Each structure stands twice: as C-alpha cells, then as structure tokens.
Chain A
Amino acid sequence: MKQLAALQQQGRRSNSFRSNSSPLDATVDGAIKSPATIFWLFLHGVCCLISLVLGFRFSRLVFFLLFSASPSPSTTTIYSALRTTLPVISSPQERNVSADGGGSRVVVGRHGILIRPWPHPDPAEVMKAHRIIERVQAEQRSQYGVKNPRTVIAITPTYVRTFQTLHLTGVMHSLMNMRYDLVWIVVEAGGTTNETASLIAKSGLKTIHIGVDGKMPLLWEDRHKFESRMRLHALRIVREKKLDGIVMFADDSNMHSLELFDEIQNVKWIGAVSVGILAHSGGSEEGDVLMRESDADEKDEKKSQIPVQGPACNASGNLAGWHTFDTRPFVERSAIYIGDRAVVLPRKLEWAGFVLNSRLVWEDVEGKPVWVKDLVEIGKDGEDIESPLSLLKDTSVVEPLGSCGRKVLLWWLRVEARADSKFPASWIIDPPLDITVPAKRTPWPDAPPELPAYVEKVTTIPENTEKRPAKSGSKRKRSSRSKRKHNAKVLDIRASTKHAGDN
C-alpha cells in the first residue's frame, strides 16, 4: 500500500490524462479526432505548462471549477487545490478546514506540512517524559520483577593503592544504580583511612566502614588469603549486627551487571553464579592459544574455553559440579606480586561467585539449615578459607543461579599498578602544580620492587620505594624537591608502562 512505486507513477501520469478525457468517454470511444478532442488536448497542454510554472497540479482546480455538478462529500475542495505552494507553513493556525458543511472534515489533496516556530525539545517536557518513563518502569518492576525484594549486603575488601579509586568508583556506581536496599560493608586492610572514607561517602549509600589490622601483602597468594580473612571479618559484623538480607561479595575490581542483583534475589540459602574470568593481562596471546588448544575433559573440573567459574548443572537442572578456572596453561607465567606484568590467576572458586542468605551466619536463628557450620568455627585458627563452600558441611545444597549458571552476571578481574607506585592522595593535586619541570633522571629505571626475603626475585633498589602514598602529603611541604618528586613519580609510571610494552 505505501510503496506502490512504479504503479502509482503510472497511475498518476495517466490520471490527469484520464480525468481530462473522462467527460469525453462517450464521444471519444471511436478515437475520432473531432474538434472537441483537439480543443481538449490543447487545453490539457496549456494546463500542463501552467502547472510546470506554478508547481502544482493546476488542471484539477480548473476541472473542479468547470465540472463540479454535485460535489460528493469528502472530495477535493477549492481550498485544498488553492493551498499555497509553500511546503512549509510556520504558523500552525493556517490549516484550513473544508468548506463543505455536512461532509467530512477531512479533505483529499495537498496539505501543508505544519512546523512550529521552534521545533526543538523543551527541557521541562523532557523531564516530564523521563518521570513518566521512570514511573512506567517502576510499575513494570512491581508487576514482573521480584516481589518482596530483600536488602543486599555487599562486602568489599579494599586497601589504599593507586587503582583503588578506579576500582571502588566502579563498584560504587554499580551499587548506586541497583534498585534494592543496600548495606555496603567496606573492609579496609591496614585500618580505616580518611581517603577511603571520603570516597565511599560520595556514594550516598548506607555503608559500614571497618578496618582490619595488617597491611595488604605484596604477593598475590598472600593477598588472596588476606582478602578471605577480611571477608570473614565482615561476615562477623553481619552476625553481630544481625543484618538481614542477601550477602554478596563485590570485590572492588570486579564488574557487576545490574541483572546480577535481580538474579540474587532468588536465592534461598546459598547460591552460586557464573563468574567470567578476565585473566588476561598485556602480552598474553600465547595464553589464549594455550587455552584453546588443550582439551582435557574431566568430570567436575571441566576446562572450558571460555574462562567461567561457576556451577555446572546436569540435564535436570540440578547442581552436578563446578566449572573452575584451569590454571595449567598459566603455571609458568602467572603473576607473583602485585603489579607484576603477568596474568593474575583467580583461585579455584572465587568468593565473588557466591551469595548467601545473611541468616546463615547468624547465631541462633530458627530455620537455619543443618548443613551450615557456625561462623565462629571457621577461620579461627587463621586457616585459609578459600570460598564460602567451607561454611557448608554438604556442598550439594548450593543453588545455581542465572539460569543454572548459563548466564555470566559478573566479571572477575585483577588489575593493579605496582605496589610502590605513587599517586596523589585522593587523586587531588593540592596545591596545584605551578611549575612542572621534567626530571633529570628517574629514581628507578626498570628495577622490580623490593619483595619479602623468601621470594627469589629480590633486587636492591636505591631509594624511596616503600613509602606509603598516604605520607606523600608530608613530602609536599618541601617545595620544589617534592614537586620534582611528583613529576618523577608521574614520569616513572609512564616509563614503566612503556617498558611493559617492550616486553
């Protein structure tokens, strides 16, 4: 209907011709060239020329005026034919209504294209539209979404370092965008600091900021263990304060999809989601190839070509095992210390992939299932709790979430700068630099940082490696020397990235 291209063109072209000759149907049948036909043809030619000049179909107007015996309702009126040749009318009031009384108000023929004087959006209306959309979405959520949403208790272990702001802002924004009540427990290694506190205060969320004594270790192995300790500490807070809701572990460098928060509302006691592992850091194409080539195929430690950790289901949708990350291709080349330019490997099963009903860690609550151990029994000897599965006597009760682990709802990633890299406190340069002078030499050209004695890769470094960034404020009081140090640090970070590229 809408695109009768060739047809309508033909139709239109022959239309005027036919309309011209329609009064002559009776007489022209014999194709006799009477003077009448010649006259009509001549008149038609003149009308065509006039139409060419005027730009609209003039002949219709003439024929209407000449032959309008009994106008049928809703046919062309003088107004429509006479309508101005301008395709654009600026004021909308010029739209004419048909002159015919009892007929339809709608007229066939040419109409103007109405454009208002300022065809641009009005900000007040845009805001109204957004409010309408919000209301519609809230209604959708209440109808099709989760009924009785529970509070989400997010546990994030963190510590002050170069990329803390980067990672924590990402988690913060994910938590701010999700639509359920939230309690955010931020556990900080080395005690609470103002830097972290000011950062999380910007979120406007309900936060519990606690500190754990002891610095975050330099080696990844140790860091994983320390983080587990921090998370257990947070779980003890949940137990003390009797926080009610769903506990999830939002590590600060992970990426969470908002669907994750909708999905975990479905958990009853303990659930597991699939975690995508982004274990590749710069220069690991060989790692890719290795993963694709090896095709070991064990039962419950399936190596998948897509690195995903999470529950594995059998055909009936029940938990049958676990997908874990195969570390074999990376054994030679994994990162040892924080800031190492190699692949950072996750553990067998990451904490981030588990969600718990907070009542599992409470003291005495009825309805607590028999298969869960009491929180105080775990970790009190300082042993390493690798994943929340240690809380369970029987791991088969874990509920697979995200359509049985098929949906990857969060992504695990560990990206850190060198542990000794310096950065301005809170990423604010205060007072602002007024003279920037390039350093004559960088303090440490390409030396790896100082590591604990039991690790092989220790080399001695000249100066200023282990200074905590929090103390950089005091250094600033020394005027030009500190400024140069700032520049030097900045230059060094850039230098070290260049060096990494050369690797």
Chain B
Amino acid sequence: MLVIVLELRRPSSSRSGRAILQAKQMQLAVLNGKKSKDTEEGSAGDVLDDNPVGKLKVYVYELPSKYNKKILQKDPRCLTHMFAAEIFMHQFLLTSAVRTLNPNEADWFYTPVYSTCDLAPNGLPLPFKSPRMMRSAIQLISARWPYWNRTEGADHFFLVPHDFGACFHYQEEKAIKRGILPLLQRSTLVQTFGQQNHVCLNDGSITIPPYAPPEKIMSHLIPPDTPRSIFVYFRGLFYDLNNDPEGGYYARGARASMWENFKNNPLFDISTDHPTTYYEDMQRAVFCLCPLGWAPWSPRLVEAVIFGCIPVIIADDIVLPFADAIPWEEIGVFVAEKDVPYLDTILTSIPADVILRKQRLLANPSMKQAMLFPQPAQPGDAFHQILNGLARKLPHDKKIYLKPGEKVLNWTAGPVGDRKPW
C-alpha cells in the first residue's frame, strides 16, 4: 500500500487534479481492501503518511542545562500545558532516526531552548525574559559552533509555541510592535501562531497545532455509534471581563457576537461551563466552534479533529497547522468574523452530503494522528509532520550561505532591555 501511495503522489492543487487522485486512490483502496470504507482518502492521506527518515538530517545543539533541563525542573507544569510541544520535540529529536551527531552532514540545526517555560503562579507563561534567553542561546551557539555564522541561522529552526510566536508577547499590539526577534529573522520558526500578513508570521514558518495531552484525550473516547445529537457545541469565554472590561477587544468581538446572537438558539449548545464531560460532548456534536480568542489559534481545533466534530473556524486570515498537508477547507467550515450573526443560516444551509464527506475525511486516522504529540512518537504524528515540513524546504537555497565575515543580521536591533544578558 505504501508503495502505491508513493507512486501516485503528485502535488496537485487544482480541484480536478485532487478529484482524479482521490478516485484513483479509492479504487486502489477497494482493490487492496486494506483501508476500511469509512475513511475516505485522497486529498488527505497522501502527504500525511510521508516518512521523513532519510529525507533530512537534524543536528541537535548541546546547550547547557540552564536553557532546558533546569527550567523544566523548576516547573514541571510545562509538560502538560498547551506549549509543551517545545519540550517534547526536543525529547523526540534526541532519540529520532533523523538525528545526526555529525553537524557537517546536517541539513537542519535545532537549538533546544524552552522559552515558554517561565510560568506565572496561575500557570500562564511569562514572555518577558524569553527574548533575552533566545539571544543568549544564539550567542552561545554562534560562538561555540561555526554553523550559525555560516548562514546566520538560515538552516536553523526553533520552536516558539507561544501566543504570537517569536514576537514573545501575549498582547497583540505589543507583539506587533516588537516584531519577530531580529536574530531569528532568517531562521525557520515552528510556531502555533499563524495569521496571514502578520508581523509575527514569517514566510516559510511551519505552523503546528498546540499541544494536547494524548492520553487524556484517548481516555475520554466514547463508542463511535453514539449518535451525534448536538448540532453546534462550544465551551469557553465570550467576554473576558478581567482583561477587556469595555468589550470589543477580546476575540475582536466575535465571541461576544456569537453569544448575543445564539444564546437563545436551542441548536447551539454554547456556554462558559467547564463540564467534566467536555470531550464526550464533543464526540456527540456535529459542529464544534473554534473562534479566535486573544490569539487566533486554540486547542479546540485539535480536539475537534480528534473527536470527529467538524471545526467551524471563526478567525479571519488564520493560518492553520500543517496547511500544506491538511486540506482544511475540505474538513472544516470557515466563517468570516463579520458573518457570525448568520452562523445558523450558514451551518444549516450546508448540504448533508457535504457534511458527511467532511466527517469521513475527519475519520481518517492519519488526520487525527497528525494533530497529536504522542509519547513515544508514532508514525504520522505531529513530530513527523514537522520534519516533513522541514524536509519539504530542502534543499537549501545556495544564497543562504554567507561569505565569511559577511553579516546580515543586526545584533543590536530591538528594545534595549533585550540586550541584557540572561
């Protein structure tokens, strides 16, 4: 089956191309009889099943433990919050087959800095020291190894899963003002944040899903024949009175609009509750709303995909995880923020066979696997998708290699506070 998939893999973005590809794969599936009839392949399955081993080599810098282990020891909560991907990626790469101990043959270089692990007492990460930490780490690797100066970081990648990526702030205006850390401008950033034409998203960044604990999710699965009886489901805040008392800033007013328009609608099961049956309820719903909050991404997307609930994404210009591998328009429903008052009309006017098709695509196990960070890593999971993304960017353009002594990055750019040693 794997062989056949490789043969047929042609990157085709046109719809007709995808349809032909899909038809051919379905024929082959029928012939092979391996995949069951309830998962529809085609546009979803091919790229997700790629195996990155053999396509790239990653060298992991050995940084002193103050950048990674000691921070983790100080606060083990970092392993379970939604930014835990940076830690698990490090652990995965240390034992992965793509790791190489010879930096001269490496295609990509990874710097394990846990920049999102400085937690406040309530568990939320404080980004104030992260720029200094990053800077200090980069100074270290540029001094100890020659590979940074060779390209000024263009063949290095970093994991920055925080709210606005490498802008290192949780408030959007502050983050925009800071912009991406100047030292990281040439590197590939693997981040959860993605919004088109935004300062904090560089071209060539890889968007990943936020971390969701796989064991917890798998322990809440209910039998698939439980009938889906909830039409639209959402649990979360609509107004953030602590940080946005005036209203209109949080979620660009979209969540508040959702509440005001649909609180009386029996089809919409939306509230600010924290039920213990949250995961089970999602498995009993047809649509799950995934609106933006302070940042456009949220773990709801991951949960919706895993539980087979069609995600309704309400975030203008959002860039979704692994957008080059997962056909989000075919799986989810995109609603513009200005159309939120008409959400019920939009959702009820989707034809039933389109809905069934989306559910079949969501039932594809490789889709669910691609959203998770399981320990130990499994084929097709999010770690492998990140590596696939990195592999797709190879081979590196010759232009990134700088002449000796040539400097492109401005090491003094950015706020003065960033230059304080960490």
Chain A residues near B (Cβ < 8 Å): 1-9, 11-12, 15, 25, 55-56, 72-76, 83, 87-88, 92, 95, 103-106, 108-116, 119-122, 125-126, 128-129, 131-133, 135-137, 139-141, 143-145
B344 touches A121 (CB 8 A): yes
- Nearest A residue to B299 by beta-carbon distance? A1
Query: Which of A7, A108, A112 is in CB contact (< 8 Å) with B176?
Result: A108
Determine how close the nearest CB of chain B comes to the CB of A98; give it in whole angstroms. Answer: 11
In the complex, which residues of chain B have a beta carbon less than 8 angstroms from the beta carbon of A2? 236-237, 240, 293-294
A114 touches B231 (CB 8 A): no
A114 touches B316 (CB 8 A): no
Determine how close the nearest CB of chain B comes to the CB of A95; give it in whole angstroms. Answer: 5
Query: Which of A15, A105, A128 is in CB contact (< 8 Å) with B174?
Result: A15
Query: Which of A6, A103, A133, A140 is in CB contact (< 8 Å) with B197?
Result: A103
The proximity string for B residues 268-312 relative to A, scoring 1 for CB distances below 8 Å and 0 otherwise, is 000000000000000000100000011100000000000000000
A104 touches B198 (CB 8 A): yes
B293 touches A1 (CB 8 A): yes
Q: Which of B147-155, B220-228, B383-391, B394-402 lines the interface with chain A?
A: B220-228
Q: A1-B295, A7-B170, A133-B228 are in contact. Are A128 and B348 (CB under 8 A)?
A: yes
Determine how close the nearest CB of chain B comes to the CB of A140; give it in whole angstroms. Answer: 6
A115 touches B316 (CB 8 A): no
A137 touches B227 (CB 8 A): yes
In the complex, which residues of chain A have a beta carbon less than 8 angstroms from the beta carbon of B196? 104
A116 touches B124 (CB 8 A): no
- Nearest B residue to A84 by beta-carbon distance? B248
- Nearest B residue to A57 by beta-carbon distance? B246
In the complex, which residues of chain A have a beta carbon less than 8 angstroms from the beta carbon of B227? 137, 140-141
B170 touches A119 (CB 8 A): no
In the complex, which residues of chain B have a beta carbon less than 8 angstroms from the beta carbon of A103? 197
Determine how close the nearest CB of chain A comes to the CB of B35; give it in whole angstroms. Answer: 14
B249 touches A105 (CB 8 A): no
A135 touches B248 (CB 8 A): no
B352 within 8 Å of A (CB atoms)? yes
In the complex, which residues of chain A have a beta carbon less than 8 angstroms from the beta carbon of B349? 128
In the complex, which residues of chain B have a beta carbon less than 8 angstroms from the beta carbon of A74? 176, 197-199
B122 touches A5 (CB 8 A): yes
Most chain A CB atoms below 10 A, which of B172, B199, B227, B295: B227
Q: A104-B195, A104-B197 are in contact. Are A115 and B260 (CB under 8 A)?
A: yes
B228 touches A140 (CB 8 A): yes
Q: Bound complex: CA of A373 vs CA of B254, how far in Å? A: 70
Q: A106-B317, A113-B257, A119-B341 are in contact. Are A3 and B240 (CB under 8 A)?
A: yes
Q: Which 4 A-B pairs have the closest CB atoms?
A: A104-B197, A144-B225, A116-B341, A111-B253
- Nearest B residue to A1 by beta-carbon distance? B163
Q: Bound complex: CA of A15 vs CA of B170, how far in Å? A: 13
Determine how close the nearest CB of chain B comes to the CB of A91; give it in whole angstroms. Answer: 10
- Nearest B residue to A119 by beta-carbon distance? B261
B341 touches A115 (CB 8 A): yes
The proximity string for B residues 40-69 relative to A, scoring 1 for CB distances below 8 Å and 0 otherwise, is 000000000000000000000000000000
The proximity string for B residues 151-184 relative to A, scoring 1 for CB distances below 8 Å and 0 otherwise, is 0000000000001000000111110110100000
Q: Bound complex: CA of A20 vs CA of B220, how far in Å? A: 50
B342 within 8 Å of A (CB atoms)? yes
In the complex, which residues of chain B have a beta carbon less than 8 angstroms from the beta carbon of A137? 227-229
In the complex, which residues of chain A have a beta carbon less than 8 angstroms from the beta carbon of B348? 125-126, 128-129, 132
Query: Which of B173, B229, B247, B356 is in CB contact (< 8 Å) with A87?
Result: B247
Determine how close the nearest CB of chain B comes to the CB of A112; give it in whole angstroms. Answer: 6
B126 touches A129 (CB 8 A): no
Q: Bound complex: CA of A15 vs CA of B243, how far in Å? A: 13
Q: A3-B242, A11-B174 are in contact. Are A132 and B317 (CB under 8 A)?
A: no
A120 touches B246 (CB 8 A): no
Q: Given contact pairs A95-B338, A122-B345, enumerate 4 new A-B contacts (beta carbons under 8 Å).
A: A1-B82, A7-B124, A15-B174, A129-B348
- Can you list 28 A-B contacts (CB < 8 A)? A1-B124, A1-B294, A4-B170, A4-B243, A6-B122, A9-B243, A73-B199, A74-B176, A87-B246, A87-B256, A95-B338, A104-B197, A104-B317, A105-B317, A106-B317, A110-B249, A113-B247, A115-B257, A122-B345, A132-B231, A132-B350, A132-B352, A133-B286, A135-B356, A136-B286, A136-B352, A136-B356, A136-B359
In the complex, which residues of chain A have a beta carbon less than 8 angstroms from the beta carbon of B124? 1, 3-4, 7
Query: Which of B243, B256, B317, B350 is in CB contact (< 8 Å) with A113?
Result: B256
Q: Bound complex: CA of A121 vs CA of B260, how far in Å? A: 12
Determine how close the nearest CB of chain A comes to the CB of B218; give it in whole angstroms. Answer: 18
B contact residues, total (Cβ < 8 Å): 70
In the complex, which residues of chain B have a beta carbon less than 8 angstroms from the beta carbon of A119? 260-262, 264, 341
Q: A109-B249, A113-B260, A132-B286 are in contact. Are A126 and B243 (CB under 8 A)?
A: no
In the complex, which residues of chain A have a beta carbon less than 8 angstroms from the beta carbon of B228? 133, 136-137, 140
Determine how close the nearest CB of chain A comes to the CB of B181; give it in whole angstroms. Answer: 16
A126 touches B266 (CB 8 A): yes
B231 touches A140 (CB 8 A): no
The proximity string for B residues 354-370 relative to A, scoring 1 for CB distances below 8 Å and 0 otherwise, is 01100100000000000
A116 touches B261 (CB 8 A): yes
- Nearest A residue to B351 by beta-carbon distance? A132
B261 touches A115 (CB 8 A): yes
A126 touches B267 (CB 8 A): yes
B340 within 8 Å of A (CB atoms)? yes
Q: Bound complex: CA of A463 vs CA of B295, how far in Å? A: 83
Q: Bound complex: CA of A25 vs CA of B418, how far in Å? A: 14
Determine how close the nearest CB of chain A comes to the CB of B256; give it in whole angstroms. Answer: 4
In the complex, which residues of chain B have a beta carbon less than 8 angstroms from the beta carbon of A133? 228-229, 231, 286
Determine how close the nearest CB of chain B comes to the CB of A17; give it in whole angstroms. Answer: 13
A145 touches B246 (CB 8 A): no
Q: Bound complex: CA of A325 vs CA of B319, how far in Å? A: 63
Q: Bound complex: CA of A126 vs CA of B268, how far in Å? A: 11
In the complex, which residues of chain A have a beta carbon less than 8 angstroms from the beta carbon of B126? 7
B341 touches A8 (CB 8 A): no
In the complex, which residues of chain A have a beta carbon less than 8 angstroms from the beta carbon of B265? 120-121
In the complex, which residues of chain A have a beta carbon less than 8 angstroms from the beta carbon of B341? 92, 114-116, 119
B122 touches A3 (CB 8 A): yes
Q: Bound complex: CA of A461 vs CA of B176, how far in Å? A: 94
B416 within 8 Å of A (CB atoms)? yes
In the complex, which residues of chain B have a beta carbon less than 8 angstroms from the beta carbon of A106? 195, 198, 252, 316-317
Query: Which of A15, A76, A131 is in CB contact (< 8 Å) with B352?
Result: A131
Most chain B CB atoms below 10 A, which of A73, A103, A113, A143: A113
In the complex, which residues of chain B have a beta carbon less than 8 angstroms from the beta carbon of A128? 348-349
Q: Bound complex: CA of A311 vs CA of B186, how far in Å? A: 70
Determine how close the nearest CB of chain A comes to the CB of B339; give it in whole angstroms. Answer: 8
Q: A2-B294, A5-B122, A139-B359 are in contact. Are A72 and B176 (CB under 8 A)?
A: yes
A140 touches B195 (CB 8 A): no
Most chain A CB atoms below 10 A, which of B240, B242, B257: B257
B377 within 8 Å of A (CB atoms)? no
Determine how close the nearest CB of chain A comes to the CB of B341; give it in whole angstroms. Answer: 4
- Nearest B residue to A128 by beta-carbon distance? B348
Q: Bound complex: CA of A133 vs CA of B265, how far in Å? A: 16
B246 touches A113 (CB 8 A): no
Q: Bound complex: CA of A116 vs CA of B236, how far in Å? A: 22
Q: A111-B248, A133-B231 are in contact. Are A139 and B356 (CB under 8 A)?
A: yes
Scan residues 302-347 of chain B and give those whose CB is less than 8 A from a CB of chain A.
Answer: 316-317, 337-338, 340-342, 344-345, 347
Determine how close the nearest CB of chain A comes to the CB of B4; give it in whole angstroms. Answer: 25
- Nearest A residue to B256 by beta-carbon distance? A113
B38 within 8 Å of A (CB atoms)? yes
